[in-house]
Amino acid sequence: SREYQLCPSILSADFNRLGEQIQMLERAGVKWLHIDVMDGDFVPSISFGMPVIKSIRKESSMFFDVHLMVTEPGRYIQDFVECGADSITVHTEACEDLERTIQMIRDSGVRVGVSIKPATPVHDISHFLEDVDMVLIMTVNPGFGGQKYMEETTEKIQELRELIEEEELSVDIQVDGGINRETLPTVLRAGANLVVAGSYVFNGDILQNVKEATSTIKR
């Protein structure tokens, strides 16, 4: 039985009210919190890092799903574990030695995710499927919230789901970018089971948005 979760991305939160908004998610039954770390090198933008994660960790018992959009993320695995990550996802495009980086995350005791950008084929990570808990298929180019879903990524989700079924593995498929009420059914049908949503959750009435998204995901 596959676990289906909505993973709100705090990149779209109002940082002046971050604690309050996270509490709201928790009360609405959200289990996974998606945390986007950007270094201004792997992606053009800079978001936030350890101090923010450490602060919200004190107030939340949600599962902290940390998405590292960072060049050579191996340099920081220990730091993110110490500040409260439950899962760490790294980009294959950002790692000189992906196998070694995966092993570092594994050894640190948290869950392991690998991610591919829209232009990177599934093939680039297919030989690591036995070593990871999750593959994150980016459905926009990483770097900013609020972008449009790239339709050409749907078939990558399908391809990965077929591969996982064929090999009888229990790897989760997460999608991230441009998820809204129109694109959510598409990614679920294609085989995603962990769905990141930033602007969809945080623009407008958070509670209402979570209810709507969750009812589609856990149908």
Give me the residues that bind ligand DX5 (CB under 6 A), please. Answer: 9, 11-12, 34, 36, 67, 140, 142-147, 176-179, 196-200
Please tell me whether 143 is known to bind a ligand. yes
36 in active site: yes
Interface map 167-196 toward Zn ion (x if CB under 5 A): ---------x--------------------
From 159, 142, 139, select the one nearest 150 (Cα to Cα).
139
Positions in 59-88 near Zn ion (CB under 5 A): 67
- The least CB distance from residue 156 to ligand DX5, in Å, is 16
Please tell me the number of Cα atoms within 13 Å of 131 on its side-chain side: 16
CB 139 within 8 A of CB 172: no
- The least CB distance from residue 175 to ligand DX5, in Å, is 10
Q: CB under 5 to 8 A by kind: which of Zn ion, ligand DX5, none does 147 bind? A: ligand DX5
Which residue, 9 or 101, has its beta carbon nearer to ligand DX5? 9
Please tell me whether 124 is known to bind a ligand. no
79 in active site: no
Please tell me whether 172 is known to bind a ligand. no
From 142, 137, 81, 147, select the one nearest 113 (Cα to Cα).
137
State how far the alpha carbon of 71 is from the alpha carbons of 25, 91, 108, 164, 197, in Å. 30, 8, 19, 27, 23
**218 φ, ψ to 5°?**
-105, 50
In the set 14, 36, 79, 86, the catalytic residue is 36
d(CA 20, CA 26): 10
Residue with smallest beta-carbon separation from ligand DX5: 198
From 133, 92, 129, select the one nearest 112 (Cα to Cα).
133
Feature table: binding site for substrate: 9, 67, 143-146, 176-178, 198-199
Annotated catalytic residues are 36, 176
